[in-house]
């Protein structure tokens, strides 16, 4: 059984700048974090997999003291969870206002895979409600119905840890040598290859500067490749 596994953000659509970043900033403001990430700040945060992990990374002793945030570890975990839940809500609200388009070639390549009998999935370390909302917005309905979503809620360790890809392989019933992953970031690439999966990279606006030496191919967008190109990588 062959499988094609897409990352979500940056692969299916350019979602970081107009969705995730403003949703993070609004949620952080609402909870008294008194900061606003710039696009450069957000690019740095994307080097850490998982939204909760990015929020938790802010909670240095100095940051906590300056903003009178909780110092108890359990209270901090609850705060991070609450901020992230609100960020996910805000992302849904923002998504409803945007004309979000899939990146070139995404729907065509997914349909080629389905027509050829491949399993398809989405493996992301974002929250499942956010991934689901984006998938439903940018992919054709028949593709959405046919794929399986694996999200950050499903694993403890986030990319670059390979846990999400190992879960995807198990869920799709495929072996690593029979799967291709499509990623836009280095941490995603390392997660896929760490699970033994060949990975194609299509850099996004926030990741074009990153290093992708482990990828079997790097393309500007998925309009440049066909399923036959991916099949060759599996031979």
What tens digit of pLDDT does each residue of 125-178 get?
A: 999 999 999 999 999 999 999 999 999 889 999 999 999 999 999 999 999 999
Q: Which residues contact 216 (CB under 8 A, 6 or more apart)?
A: 198, 199, 200, 233
In the chain, CATH 1.10.150.240 covers: 16-95
Q: What is the pLDDT of residues 121-138, one digit of tens each?
A: 999 999 999 999 999 999
For the chain, give every residue range classified as CATH 3.40.50.1000: 3-14+101-233
Q: What is the pTM of this model?
A: 0.94
Q: Which residues are catalytic?
A: 7, 9
The CATH class given to the 16-95 domain equals: mainly alpha
Task: Retrieve residue 6's tokens.
Answer: 């897409």
Q: Please, what CATH class does the domain formed by 3-14+101-233 belong to?
A: alpha beta
Pairing of strands 3-6, 119-123: parallel
Going from the first residue of the chain to its last (235 residues), give the mean pLDDT of each consecutive group of 10, the final group possibly shorter: 97 96 96 94 92 94 95 97 96 95 98 98 95 97 98 93 98 98 98 98 96 97 96 91
Instruction: Quote the pLDDT of residue 229.
Output: 95
């Amino acid at each position: 059984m062959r499988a094609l596994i897409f990352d979500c953000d940056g692969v299916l659509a350019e979602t970081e700048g107009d969705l995730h970043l403003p949703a993070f900033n609004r949620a952080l403001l609402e909870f008294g974090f008194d900061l606003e990430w710039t696009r450069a700040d957000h690019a740095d945060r994307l080097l850490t997999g998982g939204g909760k992990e990015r929020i938790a990374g802010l909670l240095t002793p100095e940051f906590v003291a300056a903003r009178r945030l909780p110092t108890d570890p359990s209270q901090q975990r609850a705060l991070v969870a609450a901020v992230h839940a609100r960020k996910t809500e805000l992302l849904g609200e923002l998504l409803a206002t945007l004309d979000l388009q899939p990146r070139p070639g995404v729907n065509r390549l997914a349909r080629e895979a389905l027509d050829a009998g491949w399993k398809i999935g989405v493996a992301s370390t974002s929250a499942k409600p956010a991934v689901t909302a984006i998938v439903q917005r940018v992919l054709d309905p028949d593709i959405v119905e046919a794929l399986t979503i694996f999200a950050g809620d499903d694993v403890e360790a986030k990319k670059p840890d390979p846990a999400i890809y190992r879960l995807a392989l198990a869920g799709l019933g495929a072996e690593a040598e029979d799967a291709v992953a499509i990623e836009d970031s280095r941490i995603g690439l390392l997660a896929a290859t760490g699970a033994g999966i060949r990975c194609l990279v299509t850099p996004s606006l926030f990741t074009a500067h990153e290093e992708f030496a482990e990828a079997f191919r790097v393309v500007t967008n998925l309009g440049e490749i066909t399923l036959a190109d991916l099949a060759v990588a599996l031979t």
